[in-house]
Amino acid sequence: MKQELLSLALLLAPCAIWGADSQWMLEKSTLTYHVSHPLHQLDGTSHEARGKGVCQAGSCDFLVAAQVKSFDSGDSNRDLHMLQVVRGGEFPMVMVRFRLPDDAAKAGTVHADLEIQFAGQTVHYAQVPFQETVQGGEVRVSGVIPATVADFKIDPPSLLAMPIKNDIPVRVDVTWKRM
C-alpha cells in the first residue's frame, strides 16, 4: 500500500508543479551563451526572452523566444559581428520549443527534448537536464543547453586565423508563473 501511494505521488508530482489544464508565462529570463577562443573567453547575455506554456491532457507545451540582437557581450562591435555570423538580419529570433510529459520531473530534475530554431537551422537536443525549483507560485528552471557552432551550420568566427571552439553552451535560468 505504501509503495502504491509513493508511485502515485511520483506520477502526480509534475501535475502538482505545472498543474493539469494550466497556462504559464515566462516571468524572468537570463540566457547566456559562452564562446571560447584560444586568446579569450566571452559570454553574451539576454534578459529579454518571452515565453508561454500550456498544460493539458497529460503534457505541457512551451515556447521561448528571444531576439538575437538582444544578446549583449559587453562589446558592441563583437555583438554586430555575431549578428552577421548568425545571419541575424535574415533570422532575427532564436526559438525553443519543448514538451514536458507528466512524468518529466524526478527529484527536482526535468529532462526535456528541445527543438531550437536559430540561424536558419532547426536542431533537436534530446533529454537535456534542467533543475527545477518551486518558489511560491513560481517555477524556476535552470540548466545548460549543449549547443555547438556545427549544429547550426555556422562558420566559426576567427581571430588572428584561430577559430572559436565548436562548443557554445547556453546557460538557461528562467522563472515561470501561472497565468
Q: What pTM value is reported for the model? A: 0.85
Nearest to 33 by CA among 66, 73, 67: 73
Helix (H, G, I), strand (E, B), or coil: what is residue 97?
strand
Backbone angles phi, psi at 53, to 5 degrees: -135, 145
The pLDDT tens digits of the residues spanning 5-51 come to 333 333 333 444 666 688 999 999 999 999 999 888 999 999 999 99
* Domain of residue 114, residue span: 2-178
The pLDDT tens digits of the residues spanning 138-163 come to 899 999 999 999 999 999 988 888 89
DSSP 103: T
Indicate whether 165 pLDDT > 60.
yes
Please state whether 5 falls in left (phi above 0), alpha (psi between -120 and 50) or beta: alpha
Q: Which residue has the higher pLDDT, 101 or 12?
A: 101
CA 1 to chain centre: 39
- Continuous segment of H or E residues that includes residue 6: helix 2-18
Q: Domain total for the chain?
A: 1
Task: Decide: residue 24, CB within 10 A, 0-12 exposed, 13-18 middle, 19+ buried.
Answer: buried
Number of alpha carbons in the 13 Å side-chain half-sphere of residue 85:
17
What CATH number does residue 91 fall under? Answer: 2.40.128.110
